[in-house]
Amino acid sequence: MRSLGIYLHIPFCRSKCRYCDFYSMPHSPADLKSAYVEALCRDLARRAADCADCEVDSIYFGGGTPTSLPPSELGRILQTVTDRYNVTPNAEITTECNPGTVDLHALQSLRAAGFNRLSIGLQSVHPNELKELGRLHDYAVFERVWNDARRAGFANLSADVMFGIPHQTPESFLQTLERVCELSPEHLSAYALAIEEGTPFANCADTLPLPDEDATRKMYLSMIPFLKGHGIGQYEISNFSRPGYESRHNLKYWRQEPYLGFGPTAHSDFGGKRIANARNLDGYLAGEDISVSERLGKAEREDEFVMLSMRLCAGLSKTAFAERFGRIPTEYLNRLRTYVPPGFVHPTADGFAFTPEGFLVSNPILSEVLSFGKD
């Protein structure tokens, strides 16, 4: 049996954050949400036949805010997955969750339905930073959800934090990390704020009180040893965990392993094809095929393998590359080697990986390495 991850996109949120370009609708009525759950369950049933020889070992509900659906609806979707697919008994089953959308009873219902991991969006402990982002919660609400989740039996919790946000300083970011570490998370994701086109932030980017590049750099570089000191090691450019708690689902993306995505904007990598669903809720509800698929050539797959591997602290393994593509990636390795002297890349037992400094400039380096690889 081939292992498979399943991603379910829930495109609803309570309100729209000022930086967000994820496909999600605020203030959606209950009947629209119910119709969406119906459509998702139909889609899950329709595609199950293609997966008869797969075993599903990770299921991930993302969004949007999945917990803007009632726990019973999330449970119904999960039940459809477990009824229709071969889900392993120890599958990692995650839902993203925003503070203020669940109480103890809801968390108990989610746990009883089979969810065993929560990824909770904190972003910052500081009210002024949260307000700038347009987030509705404060730290007290986050802490209550966290403690309720523990009480409901969740032994695998992840917190999302953000750096480079308006008004933030290296000191205030460190305070956010300190408060999170007091809660003993199993996992932590830390993303840099990106100003995305079409968001309210993009319309006022010139006037946003953003920390400068030096301050943002300091936040990233000081976070890595700080978390390590709390037993939370970095394993990917933006992700940290206690040993054994790396996100199984996200590792599938970074290791080019098969996954199926359901719902508008969800992506799949399955049967040798890359499939992208459109931003089209109406079409999805009407049962239309909103997907566009392409078959990547070998050179594109190789490039992608290098790019995704280099997101991981383990870096590019020439053995793993050779197992996948039947050759040693000499040209990629030679190109990566040139970034060792300036300290952006370090050799590993089996290839190369970025240093923390290198992660900060990984995009321009990879565009050099990958364009070289295609020559």
The site for ligand SF4 (CB under 6 A) is made up of: 13, 16-17, 20, 22, 24, 63-65, 98
What is the closest distance, in whole angstroms, from the C-beta atom of residue 352 to ligand SF4 in the complex?
A: 34
242 to 97, 157, 185, 236, 311: CA distances (angstroms): 20, 11, 8, 13, 18
Q: Smaller CB distance to ligand SF4: residue 23 or 305?
A: 23
CA–CA separation, 166 vs 211, rounded Å?
7
Q: Smaller CB distance to ligand SF4: residue 85 or 163?
A: 163
Please, which contacts does 210-213 make with residues 24 or more away whose CB atoms are closer than 8 Å? 210/164, 210/165, 210/166, 211/164, 211/165, 211/168, 211/169, 211/170
Q: Smaller CB distance to ligand SF4: residue 63 or 166?
A: 63
Q: Apex CA 41: angle with CA 28 and CA 89, to 5°? A: 120
What is the closest distance, in whole angstroms, from the C-beta atom of residue 158 to ligand SF4 in the complex?
A: 14
What is the closest distance, in whole angstroms, from the C-beta atom of residue 366 to ligand SF4 in the complex?
A: 26
Question: Given phi > 0 = left and psi -120 to 50 = alpha, else beta, which region is 105?
Answer: alpha
Q: Smaller CB distance to ligand SF4: residue 63 or 164?
A: 63
Q: Smaller CB distance to ligand SF4: residue 17 or 232?
A: 17
What is the closest distance, in whole angstroms, from the C-beta atom of residue 16 to ligand SF4 in the complex?
A: 5
What is the closest distance, in whole angstroms, from the C-beta atom of residue 326 to ligand SF4 in the complex?
A: 40
H/E run at residue 91: strand 86-97
Q: Smaller CB distance to ligand SF4: residue 65 or 277?
A: 65
Amino acid in position 48: A
Contacts of 255 (CB under 8 A, 6+ apart): 308, 309
Q: Smaller CB distance to ligand SF4: residue 119 or 239?
A: 119
What is the closest distance, in whole angstroms, from the C-beta atom of residue 242 to ligand SF4 in the complex?
A: 25
Take residue 257 and report the two structure tokens written for it: 């392993």
What is the closest distance, in whole angstroms, from the C-beta atom of residue 123 to ligand SF4 in the complex?
A: 8
Which segments within 201-266 are labelled E, that is strand? 233-236, 239-241, 259-262
Q: Smaller CB distance to ligand SF4: residue 182 or 196?
A: 196
What is the closest distance, in whole angstroms, from the C-beta atom of residue 125 to ligand SF4 in the complex?
A: 17
Q: What is the DSSP letter of 312?
A: B
What is the closest distance, in whole angstroms, from the C-beta atom of residue 70 to ligand SF4 in the complex?
A: 17
CA–CA separation, 290 vs 60, rounded Å?
21
CA–CA separation, 44 vs 342, rounded Å?
49
Q: Smaller CB distance to ligand SF4: residue 189 or 317?
A: 189
Take residue 368 and report the two structure tokens written for it: 């050099």
Task: Answer for the pair 162, 194: CB distance below 8 angstroms, yes or no.
Answer: no
Please spell the DSSP secondary structure of 127-192, one letter per residue. HHHHHHHT----HHHHHHHHHHHHHTT---EEEEEEES-TT--HHHHHHHHHHHHHT--SEEEEEE
- 3-state DSSP helix/strand/coil % of the chain, to nearest 5: 45, 25, 30
